[in-house]
């Protein structure tokens, strides 16, 4: 099955939108609860209201930092990659896979495929979860976009 950058882009965008919606809902809940606690403290001993507000605000703050530095940033990086893939032309080349190593760039987990092709040694990227497997020492017909393998067919020796 061939990878479609456009479909991946749409899927990732929907996932990111869902994550953002959850974040906004949590933010609204946090704001509501903390303002309510502030209002409830009027005319009372406010120490425990203040401590409760501090605790939920620290928790929300950490969640916000985690959200924007982890899943949100990862999503943006993936969208950027899919956009680059969509914009680039498809190339096809036959080569022998020399090695497959785990590789992380911009927090996108993928596999670096070192392949010996007609043009020499090439480093190709195989996205995690791609619907095909590549094994070393086998010959494949690689279809790539922006150096990312979107399809590969095993070739007879």
Partner 1 sequence: MNKSFKTRLYYDWVLYLLVAAAAILIWYFAFGLFNAPAPTETIRVFFAGKVVDRSFEDLALSKMSDNGVKLVEIDSCLVDDAAFSAKYAAVGLNGCDVVIALESVIDKTECEGTFAELNGFENVYLRDGKAYGVFLEKSAITALSAYFSFGDSNYVALIAASSVNGGDGALTDNAVVFLRWIADNGKVQTHTEN
**Which residues lie near partner 1 (CB under 8 A)?**
34, 38, 41-43, 46, 49-50, 53-54, 57-58, 60-62, 64-66, 69-70, 74, 104, 107, 109
Q: Which is nearer to partner 1, 69 or 94 (CB)?
A: 69
**Which of 68/123 has CB closer to partner 1?**
68
Smallest gap from Cβ 54 to partner 1, in A, equals 5
Query: What is the nearest approach in angstroms of partner 1 to the Cβ of residue 69?
Result: 5
Q: Which is nearer to partner 1, 10 or 38 (CB)?
A: 38
Nearer to partner 1 by Cβ, of 106 and 153: the residue is 106
For 25-34, b/e burial (b = at least 16 CB within 10 A) is eeeeebeeeb
User: What CA–CA distances, in Å, run from 34 to 24, 68, 145, 148?
Assistant: 15, 22, 49, 47
Report in angstroms how near the CB of residue 9 gets to partner 1 at its nearest: 22
For the CB of residue 34, give the shortest distance to partner 1 in the complex, in Å.
8
- Residue 66 sits at the vertex; the CA angle it makes with 80 and 111, to the nearest 5 degrees, is 45
Say which residue the tokens 């906004």 belong to: 24
Question: Pairing relation of β-strands 148-154 and 139-145?
Answer: antiparallel
The token pair that represents 75 in the structure block:
């999503």
């Amino acid at each position: 099955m061939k990878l479609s950058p456009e479909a991946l882009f749409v899927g990732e965008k929907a996932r990111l939108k869902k994550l953002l919606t959850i974040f906004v809902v949590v933010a609204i809940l946090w704001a509501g609860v903390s303002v309510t606690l502030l209002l409830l403290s009027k005319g009372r001993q406010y120490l425990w209201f203040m401590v409760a507000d501090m605790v939920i605000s620290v928790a929300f703050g950490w969640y916000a930092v985690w959200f924007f530095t982890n899943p949100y940033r990862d999503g943006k990086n993936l969208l950027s990659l899919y956009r680059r893939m969509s914009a680039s032309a498809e190339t096809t080349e036959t080569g022998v896979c020399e090695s497959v190593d785990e590789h992380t760039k911009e927090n996108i987990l993928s596999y670096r495929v070192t392949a010996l092709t007609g043009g020499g040694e090439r480093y190709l990227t195989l996205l995690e979860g791609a619907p095909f497997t590549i094994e070393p020492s086998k010959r494949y017909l690689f279809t790539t976009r922006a150096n990312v393998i979107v399809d590969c067919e095993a070739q007879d020796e």
